[in-house]
Amino acid sequence: MIDLNTTEYRRARLALGLGGFLIFCNLYLFQPLLPVMTEAFSVSAARVNWLVAGGTLALSATLIPWAICSEVIGRYKVMMVSLSLLPVVGLMVLATDSLLGMTLARAAMGISLAGFTAVAVAYMAEEFSPKALMIAVGAYVSANSFGGITGRVFGGVIAQYWSWQLAVVVMALFSLAGAIVVYILLPKAKQFSPAPEVSLRSHVRQVVAHIQTPKLWIAMLIGGVNFALFVNLFTVMGLRLVAPPYSMPVSVASMIFLCYLSGSITARLSGHWKSRWSVPSGIFLGTAVSFLGTLVAVHDSVQSMIIGLLLISSGSFFSHSMTYGWVSQKATRARATANALYLVHYYAGGGLGGFYLIACWEAKGWPGVVIGSGGLYTLISFMAIRMMKFERRGTSATRKLSSIESD
């Protein structure tokens, strides 16, 4: 097992972090470009949102197939194949000048990204010691956050001063270089054992079993709703800032994604929280902080909006790290499938949530967004209460078993 403070651990954490960084750079390259594409194609924000939703929904739809593949050929091979596809698939968007064609190209990108995303945490769960896993997952989520920041800011700035096409080309070249570095650094899996059953029916049974396990499915639902709010609150804020009375250039408005840095910090802190307190209490905290951010952002000053986004990012990434780690720990078998199923909910929420929050924005402005998001934050809180009951049962069972063994 890979343990803390070893050379192998440092190499693995760096490689996985870089891989996650590349994934999120590519996934959200087009998010700050939505106002530009709205103008270019003369369509509504809801329609052009498919450039982001197409990628996230395709990613969510193919996570399970990639996870099933990894149960047979291994996590390492799937991650390498996924990263090697990024440069080629990334350039496909340049081969079309229609919104539909670009959406399909972005969907192909989502499929490519899904391989690494589906199995990275499963690789860590198998190869890392329990203590190293808790810290590594937080660091991995933090790297994902930083990748999301970089992809969004990079896309907005390059498109403003040069062109979005140049942003696509440079990102493809960077992805190629990054994939080579990951291949060199990431230790090959030593703990992986191929699944004894490889039939599609057996994997479908595994998926159904995970969904029928309440303590797992509740975390998956929380992850989906949490991400539906988080990523799309930033989308709506971008639309708010490029519209009057602010009328900011896209390059300036894209700087709001630097607020993700607060999420990078809280994602890393989540591992330390889980070692002292419970996961449900952490979800409560993250949810409260995020909703407070939406309230702060009601004020029309840019400073209030920035503070609000910092709070939204901090709370959302904190909650995400909690629920993601919960699924990794509570799944007793087919762990890669369980992690992938969590991410199916997560990215499906991200893809669908944009249409919901954009509708709230177009109907009532930011106050409408607060009302719409408030209902979903309340739903997360009720689900966290349910998780707390599962944890209490588990603690009670553990104490009872210890009492029997001591007798």
- pLDDT (tens, 9 = 90+) of the chain, 407 residues, equals 887 778 888 898 899 999 999 999 999 898 888 888 888 888 888 788 888 889 989 998 898 888 888 878 888 999 999 999 999 999 999 998 888 999 999 999 999 999 998 888 888 888 888 778 877 877 887 788 788 889 988 988 898 888 888 999 999 999 999 999 999 999 887 777 766 655 667 777 878 888 888 888 888 999 999 999 998 999 899 889 988 888 888 888 888 988 888 887 887 777 667 667 888 888 888 999 999 999 999 998 999 999 999 999 999 988 888 888 788 777 777 776 787 788 888 888 988 888 899 899 988 899 999 999 999 999 999 998 888 877 776 544 434 433 433 44
Encoded tokens for 39: 């103008």
pLDDT at residue 393, as a whole number:
66
pLDDT at residue 196, as a whole number:
62
Instruction: Tell me the C-alpha distance between 107 and 201, whole Å.
Output: 26
Q: Scan for tokens 């079993």, then name that residue.
A: 209
Residue type, 248: M
pLDDT at residue 140, as a whole number:
85
Cα dist. 58→110, 115, 116, 344 in Å? 5, 12, 14, 10
Residue 119's Cβ-side half-sphere holds a number of Cα atoms within 13 Å equal to 29
Other residues' Cβ atoms within 10 Å of the Cβ of residue 213: 18
pLDDT at residue 271, as a whole number:
67
Q: Of 167, 149, 150, which Cα lies nearest the Cα of 158?
A: 167
pLDDT at residue 405, as a whole number:
36
Q: Is residue 192 within 8 Å of residue 39, measured between CB atoms?
A: no
- Give the architecture-level CATH label for domain 7-402: Up-down Bundle (1.20)
Encoded tokens for 197: 């059953």
pLDDT at residue 400, as a whole number:
43
Q: Is residue 278 within 8 Å of residue 375, measured between CB atoms?
A: no
Q: Of 338, 182, 146, 194, which Cα lies nearest the Cα of 154?
A: 146
Phi, then psi, of 128 in degrees rounded to 5: -95, 150
This prediction has a pTM of 0.77
pLDDT at residue 377, as a whole number:
94
